[in-house]
Amino acid sequence: MIQAIKERRSINFFEAGREIPDDKLMELLKIANLSPSSFNLQPWRVIVVRDPERKKVLRQCAFNQPKVEEASTVLIMIADPGGVEENLERVLDSWQKLGYIKSDIRKTYTEMAKNLYESEDSLKRKIFAVKNTALFAMNLMIAAKGLGLETHPMDGFDEECIKKEFHIPDDKIIPMLVAVDYLRSGITLLPRAFRRELSEFVRFEKF
C-alpha cells in the first residue's frame, strides 16, 4: 500500500489499444467503494466512459486534454448532495442489523445527520458530497496501482458541458475526472515534482 502511494503518478502516457477487462474495472470500483464516508452515506456516483465517440465529446468538455481520449477509460466522478436522503435509512438499517445501534437511537441519528449536513442545496451539503467523493477518487487511484493500472485526476473541464453531454442532473457536482489505463511501454517518467517541506504546513497543537 505504501509502495502504491509512493509510486502513484499522474500519467500522460497510456498504452494505445489496450482495454481494461470488465472484471478488473469492477474490482477497482469495488475496492474504491470501501472508502470511508461521512455517516457512511457514500454520496458518490461514477460514469464510466469507454466509447471512443463519447471520449471525444468528453475531451472537448475537458479543454481538449489528449489523455481524456487516449486513456481507454475515463471516470466522471460525481458528488451527490442527495446522498443523505438517498442512503441514511439504509445506513441506519445496516447499523441496527449489525448491532452497532439500537432502534431507539435512530431518530436521534437521523436528526444529527440532517443537522450536520443541512439542506440539500446548502454549501455545507455540497462540501459534504465533494469531500467524500474525493476520498473515493483517491482510494481508487491508489487501488489502481495495486491492480497494475495508472491514473490521472483532472479538474480542467467545463462542468456545465459535461453535465449537458452526459445527462447529469444540475444538483450534482463533478469534483474531478479520473483517466485510468495501463502505462505505455517504454516510457520513462520525469522525476516527481516538488513537494513542500513538512515544516511549511505541519503545526502542532495550534495553527
Ligand X SMILES: Cc1cc2nc3c(=O)[nH]c(=O)nc-3n(C[C@H](O)[C@H](O)[C@H](O)COP(=O)(O)O)c2cc1C
Residues 6+ away with beta carbon under 8 Å from 142: 1, 4, 5, 8
Among 156, 164, 171, 187, binds ligand X (CB under 6 A): 156
**CB < 8 Å & 24+ apart, contacts of 18-26:** 18/72, 18/181, 18/182, 19/50, 19/72, 20/72, 20/73, 20/149, 20/180, 20/181, 20/182, 24/147, 24/149, 25/73, 25/180
Residues in 39-68 at the binding interface with ligand X, rule: CB under 6 A:
65
Minimum distance from residue 137 beta carbon to ligand X (Å) = 8
**Position of minimal CB gap to ligand X:** 156
Choose between 72 and 87: whose C-beta lies nearer to ligand X.
Answer: 72
Size of the site for ligand X (CB under 6 A): 10
Minimum distance from residue 201 beta carbon to ligand X (Å) = 16
Choose between 19 and 155: whose C-beta lies nearer to ligand X.
Answer: 155
Measured distance CA(143)–CA(137) in Å, rounded:
10
For every residue of 110-124, DSSP letters joined together read HHHHHHHH-STTSHH
Among 4, 9, 131, 165, binds ligand X (CB under 6 A): 9
Choose between 167 and 196: whose C-beta lies nearer to ligand X.
Answer: 196
Minimum distance from residue 153 beta carbon to ligand X (Å) = 4
Residues in 126-155 at the binding interface with ligand X, rule: CB under 6 A:
153-155
Task: Please name which of 33, 25, 34, 69 lies closest in space to residue 177, comparing C-alpha atoms.
Answer: 69
**Under the rule (CB under 6 A), what is the footprint of ligand X?**
9-10, 65, 153-156, 176, 192-193
